[in-house]
Structure 1
Amino acid sequence: MVTKNEAITAAAEFLKRNVNPDKANSVVVLPETAIIFDYGWTVRFDFKEHLETGDPSYAPFTSVVVVPHDGSATDFAPTSLPAAEYMALQASGNWPPKKGQ
């Protein structure tokens, strides 16, 4: 089981490696947004420019990172459904959806 602090650290390390290199120094991990689910943690992040200006053109396309409890790779949550729904599908074993569903 991953602790909150471990999830925040994993999310920050993932973002350093996977965000556009031009934006890497702009990433702000938001520890207060970390939420625990049966499958793992979600941790939100934003870009400094968006936080400072509120201009949506500076916001990340997706702002949720998922850190699974089982040690699976940290990744972005899909944008096609709410994070809580995705986490419930993962926990139930119903993700990814079967073809035709």
Structure 2
Amino acid sequence: MPLEEALEIAQAFLQKVYKYNDYTFVMLPELSQEYRKFWTVRFDTQEHIDTGDMTKAPMVRLLVVPKDGSSPLWPPSARPTSDFIAKLDAEP
């Protein structure tokens, strides 16, 4: 799966999850990373970018987009994201 497709999937997922919020999502492809079985997609909101107000964006601004077409995942916020990504990447 190319990055462009992962970004589209992430955007659609965010629009669905936050359909009752007035967020304008901005994908950050330059901060996204490819792994064997998934992409990590970074994003923000235009409202947060413009104001710096942390309440104008989701607390976690990273999605894991599996290349197999399954639903995107949020990394847990209770442990380091790098640990979660390493564990996912090590799975067979």
Relative to the length of structure 1, the TM-score reads 0.76
Residue 57 of structure 1: aligned partner? 55
1:66 is matched with which residue: 61, 64, 67? 64
Q: How many residues align structurally?
A: 92
| d(CA) in 2 for partners of 1:76, 1:39 | 15
1:36 is matched with which residue: 34, 52, 59? 34
Quote how far apart the aligned CAs of 1:39 are. 3.0
- Is this contact kept in 2: 1:40–1:87, CA < 8 A? no
The CA RMSD over aligned residues, in Å, is 2.0
Quote how far apart the aligned CAs of 1:13 are. 0.8
Residue 45 of structure 1: aligned partner? 43
What are the within-5 Å matches in structure 2 for residues 1-101 of structure 1? 2-24=1-23, 26-93=24-91
Identity of aligned residues (%): 34
Query: Any gaps of 5 or more consecutive residues in structure 1?
Result: 95-101
Deviates more, 1:85-94 or 1:40-49: 85-94
Runs of 4+ in 1 over 2 A off after TM superposition: 55-59, 80-85, 91-94
Quote how far apart the aligned CAs of 1:5 are. 0.8
